[in-house]
C-alpha cells in the first residue's frame, strides 16, 4: 500500500489546474469539510492550517479570556498547552490514568476552580479518554470540552467515533498523522453559533463567512462600501492544494487507519511473551486508532534501561523510535510562563505523579509501515531484543 496514492496526485493536479482562480478558490476545502463532517458524524468542519491553530480557534470561540483556566493533560505533544497560552489563558494540569495514559477525571475534579472554563482532553496515541466521566464534570460545572484528536482518526468510545463528544474537536493532518497533507488540521463542531464564530475567527474575522460558508461573494467584497472585519480573527485557512491532498487521504482513511492497527498488533504480539513492558491499556468498548504503539518499560531505573533497550534494539536492526514527549509543564516555555504569572498551581515535580512515573518509561513504536512485511520484520527484532535484554 502506498501512503500517497494516485488519488492524492490526481486531486493535487486538479487543484493546480484551477489556477488559484478565486471562483474556484475553495472547491477542495468545501469538499474536504463536507466529507469530513459525513465521515465523523458532525455537523460542521472547518479547515485549518494545522491542529494547533484549530485548538486556538476553538478556545477563542468559547470566549476564553486572559486569566481563565483550561484543564489539560501533561502527557501530550505540547500544542495542547500552547494553544491555551496563545489564548492568554492558564493551562492547569490534571494527572493521567496510569493504565490508559489519558486524562484522569478524578484529577480534573481536584483541579477545578472558579476560573476553570474548559477542559481539553487528548486521545493520546489514538486512545479516546473517558468521555462519560469528563462530560459529567463539564455538565455539572458548566465547562466546555474541546477534544484534541490530533492523534486519533476513527478511534471509538462506546461505538461512537471521536469528534462528536466535545463542543469542539480538533484533528491534525501533520506528516506523522493517520491522514496527512504535510501540514493541516480541521475543527469540528455541532453547534451552529460556535461553528459560525470559529469560521469567522479562522478567517480574519470576516463579516460574511459563516459555519458552512467560507467564500465571500464577489459582489460583496468588490463594493467600496464593504466592511470586512467584525472581530479579531486569524488567517488560519487551509490552502487548496493541501485540502486536495487531505481530501484524497480522507477518502482512503479506512485503509490508512487499518494498516496502523495491524502494525500495532504485530508489535503488541511481539512483546506479549515477556514481562518487560506494560502496553497502554485499551478498555472494553474503546477503539484505539494506534497513532503509535505505546509500551511502558517495567523498570526501576528508566534513565539507564530506556537507553540500553533502545541501543540494543537498534543494534539488532530496529527502526528509530521516540520516547514520550517531556511533560508539558517541564517545557522551558511553560516553566517561564508559570514563574512570570506566579500561578497557584506550581509547575513542579510531584504535580502529576502518574505522568511523571510513566513518561520516562514510555517507548513509542511507530505504526506508519505501509508494507506489513516491514512491520513483521521489526516485530521479530523487537522479540529478539526482549529475549536478549
Ligand atoms: C495531541 C496533539 N495535539 C496537537 C498537535 C498539533 O498538531 P499540528 O502539528 O497539526 O499543529 C499534535 C501533533 O502534532 C498532537 O499530537
| pLDDT tens-digit readout, 225-234 | 989 899 999 9
Q: How far is the CA of 231 from the centre of ligand 1 (A)?
A: 26
The whole-number pLDDT of residue 217 equals 74
**End-to-end CA gap in the chain:** 33
The whole-number pLDDT of residue 219 equals 78
Q: Are 173 and 183 in contact (CB under 8 A)?
A: yes
Q: How far is the CA of 57 from the centre of ligand 1 (A)?
A: 14
- The CB density around residue 24, as the number of other CB atoms within 10 Å, is 14
| CB environment 335-353: b (16+ within 10 A), e (fewer) | eebbeeeeeebebeeebbe
- The CB density around residue 13, as the number of other CB atoms within 10 Å, is 12
Pocket of ligand 1 (CB under 6 A): 50-52, 76-77, 79-80, 122, 148, 150-151, 172, 174, 185
Q: How far is the CA of 275 from the centre of ligand 1 (A)?
A: 32
The whole-number pLDDT of residue 128 equals 98
Q: Are 151 and 129 in contact (CB under 8 A)?
A: no
Mutational pocket test of ligand 1: of 125, 151, 364, the residue with most ligand atoms within 8 Å of the beta carbon = 151
Mutational pocket test of ligand 1: of 78, 170, 172, the residue with most ligand atoms within 8 Å of the beta carbon = 172
Strand partners, 160: 157
Q: Apex CA 214: angle with CA 46 and CA 225, to 5°?
A: 145
The whole-number pLDDT of residue 381 equals 98
CB under 8 Å to 365, separation ≥6 — which residues? Answer: 267, 292, 293, 294, 295, 321, 378, 382
User: Distance between CA 111 and CA 266 in Å, rounded?
Assistant: 39
Mutational pocket test of ligand 1: of 77, 82, 96, 127, the residue with most ligand atoms within 8 Å of the beta carbon = 77
Q: Whose CA is nearest to atom 14 of ligand 1?
A: 174
Q: Apex CA 132: angle with CA 40 and CA 255, to 5°?
A: 30
Domain 254-388 -> CATH class: alpha beta
- Closest listed residue to residue 55, CA positions, set 155, 131, 146: 146
Q: Are 363 and 307 in contact (CB under 8 A)?
A: no
Q: How far is the CA of 257 from the centre of ligand 1 (A)?
A: 17
Mutational pocket test of ligand 1: of 51, 57, 169, the residue with most ligand atoms within 8 Å of the beta carbon = 51
Counting from 1 in the atom list of ligand 1, the atom nearest the Cα of 76 is 1
Q: Are 133 and 83 in contact (CB under 8 A)?
A: no
The whole-number pLDDT of residue 213 equals 78
Q: How far is the CA of 179 from the centre of ligand 1 (A)?
A: 13
* Phi, psi dihedral angles at 119 (to 5 degrees): -125, 135
Where does CATH 3.90.1150.10 sit in the chain? 254-388
The whole-number pLDDT of residue 237 equals 95
The whole-number pLDDT of residue 114 equals 97
pLDDT along the chain (389 residues), means of 10: 97 93 82 98 98 98 97 98 98 98 98 98 98 98 98 97 98 98 98 97 92 78 89 95 98 98 98 97 98 98 98 97 98 96 95 98 97 98 97
Longest dimension (CA), the chain: 75
The whole-number pLDDT of residue 222 equals 86
Hey, which CATH number is domain 6-252, 3.30.420.480, 3.30.56.10, 3.90.25.10, 3.40.640.10?
3.40.640.10
The whole-number pLDDT of residue 50 equals 98
Q: How far is the CA of 96 from the centre of ligand 1 (A)?
A: 18
Q: How far is the CA of 42 from the centre of ligand 1 (A)?
A: 20
Q: How far is the CA of 225 from the centre of ligand 1 (A)?
A: 40
Counting from 1 in the atom list of ligand 1, the atom nearest the Cα of 55 is 4
Give the pTM.
0.97
Q: How far is the CA of 284 from the centre of ligand 1 (A)?
A: 26
Q: Whose CA is nearest to atom 8 of ligand 1?
A: 51
| Cα distances (Å, whole numbers) of residue 5 to 16, 47, 256, 291, 370 | 17, 22, 11, 20, 11
Where does CATH 3.40.640.10 sit in the chain? 6-252
Amino acid at each position: 500500500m502506498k501512503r500517497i496514492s494516485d488519488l492524492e496526485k490526481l486531486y493535487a493536479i486538479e487543484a493546480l489546474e484551477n489556477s488559484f482562480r478565486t471562483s474556484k478558490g475553495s472547491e477542495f476545502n468545501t469538499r474536504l469539510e463536507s466529507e469530513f463532517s459525513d465521515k465523523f458524524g458532525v455537523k460542521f468542519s472547518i479547515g485549518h492550517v494545522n491542529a494547533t491553530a484549530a485548538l486556538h480557534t476553538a478556545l477563542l470561540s468559547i470566549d476564553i479570556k486572559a486569566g481563565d483556566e483550561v484543564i489539560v493533560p501533561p502527557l501530550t505533544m505540547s500544542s495542547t498547552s500552547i494553544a491555551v497560552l496563545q489564548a492568554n489563558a492558564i493551562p492547569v494540569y490534571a494527572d493521567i490514568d496510569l493504565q490508559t495514559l489519558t486524562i484522569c477525571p478524578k484529577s480534573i475534579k481536584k483541579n477545578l476552580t472558579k476560573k476553570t472554563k474548559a477542559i481539553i482532553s487528548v486521545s493520546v496515541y489514538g486512545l479516546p479518554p473517558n468521555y462519560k466521566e469528563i462530560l459529567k464534570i463539564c455538565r455539572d460545572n458548566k465547562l466546555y470540552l474541546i477534544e484534541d484528536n490530533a492523534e486519533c482518526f476513527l478511534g471509538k468510545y462506546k461505538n461512537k467515533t471521536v469528534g462528536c463528544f466535545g463542543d469542539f474537536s480538533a484533528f491534525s493532518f501533520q506528516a506523522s498523522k493517520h491522514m496527512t497533507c504535510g501540514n493541516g488540521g480541521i475543527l469540528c463542531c455541532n453547534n451552529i453559533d460556535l461553528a459560525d464564530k470559529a469560521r469567522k475567527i479562522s478567517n480574519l474575522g470576516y463579516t460574511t463567512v459563516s459555519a458552512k460558508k467560507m467564500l465571500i461573494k464577489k459582489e460583496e467584497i468588490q463594493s467600496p462600501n464593504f466592511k470586512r472585519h467584525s472581530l479579531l480573527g486569524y488567517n488560519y485557512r487551509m490552502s487548496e492544494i493541501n485540502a486536495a491532498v487531505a481530501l484524497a487521504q480522507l477518502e482512503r482513511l479506512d485503509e490508512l487507519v487499518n494498516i496502523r492497527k495491524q502494525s500495532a498488533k504485530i508489535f503488541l504480539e511481539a512483546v506479549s511473551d515477556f514481562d518487560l513492558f506494560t502496553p497502554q491499556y485499551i478498555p472494553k468498548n474503546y477503539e484505539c486508532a494506534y497513532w503509535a504503539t505505546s509500551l511502558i518499560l517495567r523498570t526501576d531505573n528508566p534513565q539507564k534501561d530506556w537507553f540500553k533497550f533502545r541501543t540494543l534494539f537498534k543494534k539488532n536492526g530496529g527502526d528509530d523510535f521516540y520516547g514520550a514527549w517531556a511533560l508539558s509543564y517541564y517545557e522551558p516555555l511553560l516553566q517561564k510562563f508559570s514563574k512570570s504569572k506566579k500561578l497557584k498551581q506550581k509547575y513542579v515535580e510531584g504535580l502529576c505523579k502518574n505522568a511523571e512515573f510513566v513518561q520516562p518509561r514510555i517507548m513509542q513504536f511507530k505504526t506508519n509501515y505501509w508494507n506489513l512485511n516491514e512491520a513483521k520484520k521489526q516485530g521479530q527484532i523487537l522479540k529478539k531484543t526482549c529475549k536478549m535484554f
